[in-house]
Amino acid sequence: MVAFTPRHYEPDENPAIHDVNGNIWTPVVEHVCSFNPDAFFTVMSRFVLNPNYNSSWLFRADILSEEVGRIPQISSGGQDLVFGSTFEGFRLEKGLIRRLIPRNPNRDDPLEQTCLFFKADHADGRVRSMVVYFPHISLPEEAPFYHPQVRGVAHLHEWDDSASSGVVSVHLWHFDNDELRASNKVQRTALMLLQHLHKHGQGTVTGYVKRVPNPDSIISRERLQDRHTQLRTKYAKDLINTWAEQTDPSKHVFEDIGIAAFLIELWEDMYKEKEFPDFVDIGCGNGLLVYILRKEGYSGWGFDARSRKSWAQYNLPTDSAGAPSTGGAKDSLQARVLLPKFAMPHAGDEGAEDGKFTDPGALHDGVFPRGTFIVSNHADELTPWTPILAAHSDCPFIMIPCCSHNLSGAKFRAPPPKGAANGTSAYASLVAWASKLAEECLYEVESVVLRIPSTRNTAILGRKRTGETDLEPIISKYGGTAGYYENVSKLLKTGPRGH
């Protein structure tokens, strides 16, 4: 990989590109490269579709129009407007208009921008390629925070085929404002754009491909981000300001908002033509996810081994009609310890009489009304039980694994899947192990990487089953339940601990 050592142009250097309209494009910074014109266009196409690669302030870009060989027009106030230009020696390959969607619409407005792709071939084997952005603004103050206060940004790639080497550079069309022209922020933005282009371009030379499961394979990015923005705008500020736990509020609030956004869009698809069957969040922790989902109109409840301070403000005892919440529970958040029937104690075991605990009210047997959507969000000990409980009650589920535990509740390292490369991470092994367990329960397993601020961000979905199966042999195959009852007994005897 070529080290990033850019060269900044001197203030008096001549422009390298010439606008047919006479606009002056100031060269800012350049760098040698070893990726060819095809790689340049591939990377720039990726950047046009995903502006979030260059700015953490942005969610995405919506493509509004695309034209081959011409500059697209927009209609405004009854007239057609064109943002863009052509350049001497270049032919226009294509043009498109995109709308940049910010992460926080309360702070920043969307911005429309024309993106033009140019190319120039020379007889001596040199090729010049260029992608130019024209923001749809007339004054510098119209530029949102995430965009430099300039009229245009050009990315130029110059390639010498005989030497298999080239140069990439960034050029700016400034407003007639000397202060903005010398702005450190504008200069830093140009440098950042070049650095990202160089990094991704050189990555194509080395063959590096970031192998990440498609996060939009189940719910489209646009739907998910729009729902996320809606929930964040509605809840985030108040939730952070009233946080009752000792943990970092920003991480937990935005994580659960992201999960809630995914679930709501998922349920919109699953229950479009039928009544929502209620949900249950096993190992619900602080209860925030249950709270958000119920506030959004989805009936359900959650339980955990111990109550949390935050339950006082997140507990919603009845639905909007005043009826008891799911499963006859009085509160939407309850302190219960899970003891599935598959792990019930036998007569003579400590704390049991004929296989029953002396305090059955503190337990839940893991049996739910048929069709209840089971949510298992970083539920640790309950993660491997999720598909088993779901299969037993004929329910769909989502589980987001976190720490690795087996069916007895003990910590263990899940074995890497067969054929996995050396160095497979503990988390990847856990996800594969839990997915295989769900498949054994005859679920059609789907997985997706969630857009949440956590490295434990893989969701495993079981929406459909292919048949019925005996669960006892599966439980034995995956280690059995020996020790699970003892762990539950200790929780009830010494006071439940958190997951």
| 161 has a pLDDT exceeding 50 | yes
Residue 395 and residue 373 in contact, taking contact as beta carbons nearer than 8 Å: yes
264 and 371 assigned to the same domain:
yes
CATH of the domain at 172: 3.30.530
104 and 138 assigned to the same domain:
yes
Distance CA 398, CA 462 (A): 6
**Is 213 domain-assigned?**
no
134 and 255 assigned to the same domain:
no
72 and 18 assigned to the same domain:
yes
Other CB atoms within 10 Å distance of the CB of residue 12: 5
161 and 241 assigned to the same domain:
no
192 and 248 assigned to the same domain:
no
pLDDT level of residue 495 (50, 70, 90 thresholds) = very low
Q: Which helix (H) or strand (E) holds 179?
A: helix 178-181
Average pLDDT value for residue range 226-250: 92
CATH of the domain at 229: 3.40.50
Q: Average model confidence (pLDDT) for the chain?
A: 88
The pLDDT value recorded for residue 357 is 53
Which residue shows structure tokens 């400590």? 350
* Segments in 336-470 forming alpha helices (H): 385-393, 426-440
pLDDT level of residue 355 (50, 70, 90 thresholds) = very low
Task: Label the pairing between strands 91-102 and 58-68.
Answer: antiparallel
| 361 has a pLDDT exceeding 70 | no
The pLDDT value recorded for residue 181 is 80
122 and 25 assigned to the same domain:
yes
| 343 has a pLDDT exceeding 80 | yes
Which domain does 351 fall in, by range? 221-494
The pLDDT value recorded for residue 134 is 97
The residue among 206, 232, 251 that closes a domain is 206
Q: Which residue has the higher pLDDT, 452 or 326?
A: 452
* Segments in 242-287 forming alpha helices (H): 249-270
The pLDDT value recorded for residue 318 is 55
Average pLDDT value for residue range 69-75: 90
Read off the pLDDT of residues 412-435 as tens digits, 9 standing for 90 and up.
899 888 876 666 789 999 999 999
185 and 84 assigned to the same domain:
yes
229 and 149 assigned to the same domain:
no
Cα dist from 358 to 50, 239, 327, 494, whole Å: 58, 38, 22, 14
Other CB atoms within 10 Å distance of the CB of residue 382: 23
Q: How many domains does the chain have?
A: 2
Other CB atoms within 10 Å distance of the CB of residue 109: 12
pLDDT level of residue 269 (50, 70, 90 thresholds) = very high
Distance CA 157, CA 122 (A): 14
**Is 159 domain-assigned?**
yes
